[in-house]
Amino acid sequence: MKLTRSDKRALVAFLAPAVALVVLFFVIPVIYVAVVSLLKWNGITSAHFNGVKNFALLFKDKTFVRSVINNVIWAGVAACIQVPLAMLMAIILSRKPRGWKFFRTVYFFPQVISGIALATLWRSVYNAESGLLNGILTAVGAGHLACDWLGGIKTAFPAVLIYWVFYVGYYMVIMMADISTIDQDYYEAATIDGASDFQQAIHITIPLIKRSSLLTCVTLASVMGLRQFEQVYMLTNGQPAGTTSTIVLYLYKKLQDANYGMASASAIILIVVGAVFIVCIRKLFEERKRLGKGVR
């Protein structure tokens, strides 16, 4: 359908506010950060052009390199473990078993609690002296496994990461809403043909939500993994020896040191890593779609 001149004017009128907001609150700040990343500046005295030296210094810093690795692991775990868990719970609860509304509420409830509050709760759970986890291990006769979970180089990062993985309520609700829109005739026909619930989930539910809510949830989870800050800051502040640091936490500490050039350079790296993740996720889903068409 060809748009008339009045239609084009209306389209521009509707899009203009959104475009203006994107330019004002995203494009201009990103350009500003990109410029500052090339400077040596403490925010007070005159800035000096530093070229790409800030980026070179970043990748010579073992803490920053570890921060990038941690963020990539976090995003990968979110996409490959957290979202599949959410999808499993969404499929199960969408069958409306007894008490499904109660479990839906329970799984979603952590999403309405502040991340700072949750981190504080888990800090007490992991406490080496009076923590619930060590108490349980001691009570069941596994006291030899008790340790300083947040203070050990080998245990700190897994301890910070693992509890967060099981907060799947946000993605579960998104996928449940998508599953509810699937025509029930598909399931009725599959039931008549003798398909089990598992087979219906594999061949009906997942393919029909893959390009919509599943893709959205994988993208959102990966982005959330890349922007981790509150949990790490409250639990370990990047310690011990920078093993739990993230890019945002590293950026925050550089801002505290009034090193705006390095902070901006790390922000640019975060933007690039996030863009690469999103592109890879899109390509992966598109490739699977093409493979699926080829098989049919």
- Amino acid 4: pLDDT: 78
- Amino acid 284: pLDDT: 86
- pLDDT (mean) for 60-80: 94
* 31 is a domain residue: no
Q: Which residue has the higher pLDDT, 292 or 21?
A: 21
* 7 is a domain residue: no
Q: Which two tokens stand for residue 67?
A: 């921060």
- Distance between CA atoms of 253 and 237, rounded to whole angstroms? 10
Does residue 153 carry a pLDDT above 60? Answer: yes
Contact 244, 160 (CB under 8 A): yes
Does residue 293 carry a pLDDT above 70? Answer: no
- pLDDT (mean) for 215-223: 93
- Amino acid 172: pLDDT: 95
Closest-CA residue to 269 (of 227, 222, 215):
227
pTM: 0.88
* 39 is a domain residue: no
The DSSP bridge partners found for residue 48 are: 40
Q: Which two tokens stand for residue 227?
A: 């922007």
* 141 is a domain residue: yes
Longest pairwise C-alpha distance within the chain: 78
CATH number, domain of 106, equals 1.10.3720.10
* 16 is a domain residue: no
* 27 is a domain residue: no
- Distance between CA atoms of 144 and 57, rounded to whole angstroms? 42
With tokens 């499929």, the residue in question is 91
- Amino acid 152: pLDDT: 92
Does residue 294 carry a pLDDT above 80? Answer: no
* 170 is a domain residue: yes
Question: Per-residue confidence at 8, pLDDT binned at 50, 70, 90?
Answer: confident
User: How many domains, in total, are found in the chain?
Assistant: 1
96: domain range? 61-295
Question: Per-residue confidence at 295, pLDDT binned at 50, 70, 90?
Answer: very low
Contact 47, 178 (CB under 8 A): no
CA angle, residues 134, 135, 138, in degrees to nearest 5: 85
Handedness of CA 148, 123, 251, 270 (dihedral sign): positive
- Distance between CA atoms of 74 and 143, rounded to whole angstroms? 29
* 235 is a domain residue: yes
